[in-house]
Amino acid sequence: MKFNELDLIPELLKSVKDMGFEETTPIQEQTIPLALEGKDVIGQAQTGTGKTAAFGLPMLQKIDTSKRVVQGLVIAPTRELAIQTQEELFRLSKDKRVKVTCVYGGADIRRQIKQIKGGAQIVVGTPGRMLDHIRRKTLRLDKVETLVLDEADEMLNMGFIDDIEAIIKETPKERQTLLFSATMPDAIKRIGVRFMENPETVRIKTKTLSAATIDQFYTKARDNEKFDILTRLIDVQNPKSALIFGRTKKRVDELSKGLEMRGYQAEGIHGDLSQSKRMSVLNDFKKGKIDILVATDVAARGLDVTGLSHVYNYDIPQDPESYVHRIGRTGRAGEEGVAVTFVTPQEMGYLRTIEKLTKQTMTTLRPPTNDEALESQLQSAMDDIQKTIDENGLDKYEAAAEKLLSAYSAEDLAAALVKAMVKDPTDVPVKISPQRPLPSKDRRNRRKGSGKGGRNRNYKGKKRSNNDYKGKRQNNRRSKKNNKK
Please say which residue of 203, 235, 254 terminates a domain. Answer: 203
Mean pLDDT of 354-367: 88
Q: Do 219 and 189 share a structural domain?
A: no
208 occurs within a structural domain? no
Percent of the chain whose pLDDT exceeds 90: 49
Q: Do 154 and 192 share a structural domain?
A: yes
433 occurs within a structural domain? no
Please say which residue of 203, 238, 265 terminates a domain. Answer: 203
Q: Which among 157, 181, 177, 193 is positioned nearest to 44, based on CA atoms?
A: 181
Neighbouring CB atoms inside 10 A of 252's CB total 26
Q: Do 260 and 180 share a structural domain?
A: no
472 occurs within a structural domain? no
406 occurs within a structural domain? no
Pairing of strands 176-181, 146-149: parallel
Residue-wise pLDDT for 142-196, tens only, equals 999 999 999 898 898 888 989 999 999 999 999 999 999 888 888 888 888 899 9
- Long-range own/partner contacts, residues 263-266 (CB < 8 A, 24 or more apart): 263/423, 263/428, 264/231, 264/234, 264/291, 264/292, 264/423, 265/289, 265/290, 265/291, 265/292, 266/290, 266/291, 266/292, 266/293, 266/294
Q: Do 357 and 237 share a structural domain?
A: yes
Please say which residue of 368, 397, 422 terminates a domain. Answer: 368
Q: Do 303 and 166 share a structural domain?
A: no
pLDDT at 470: 40
What is the total count of domains within the chain? 2
Mean pLDDT of 230-259: 93
Q: Do 302 and 275 share a structural domain?
A: yes
Q: Do 228 and 197 share a structural domain?
A: no
pLDDT at 304: 59
364 occurs within a structural domain? yes
Residues whose CB falls within 8 Å of the CB of residue 301, separated by 6 or more in sequence, listed in order: 21, 25, 48, 50, 325
335 occurs within a structural domain? yes
Q: Evaluate whether 179 touches 149 at the Cβ level (below 8 Å).
A: yes
**Whether residue 300 has pLDDT greater than 60:** yes
20 occurs within a structural domain? yes
418: confidence class by pLDDT, cuts 50, 70, 90: confident
Task: Give the CATH number for residue 282.
Answer: 3.40.50.300
Q: Do 105 and 227 share a structural domain?
A: no
451: confidence class by pLDDT, cuts 50, 70, 90: very low
Q: Which among 346, 334, 325, 258 is positioned nearest to 294, based on CA atoms?
A: 258
Q: Which domain holds residue 22?
A: 3-203
477 occurs within a structural domain? no
Q: Do 168 and 77 share a structural domain?
A: yes
Report the distance separating Cα 53 and Cα 3, nearest Å.
11
Q: Do 232 and 194 share a structural domain?
A: no
What pTM value is reported for the model?
0.54
Q: At what angle do helices 410-421 and 398-407 cross, to 10 degrees?
A: 120
Q: Do 191 and 46 share a structural domain?
A: yes
Q: Do 245 and 189 share a structural domain?
A: no
Torsion of CA 384, 390, 391, 392, to 10 degrees: 120
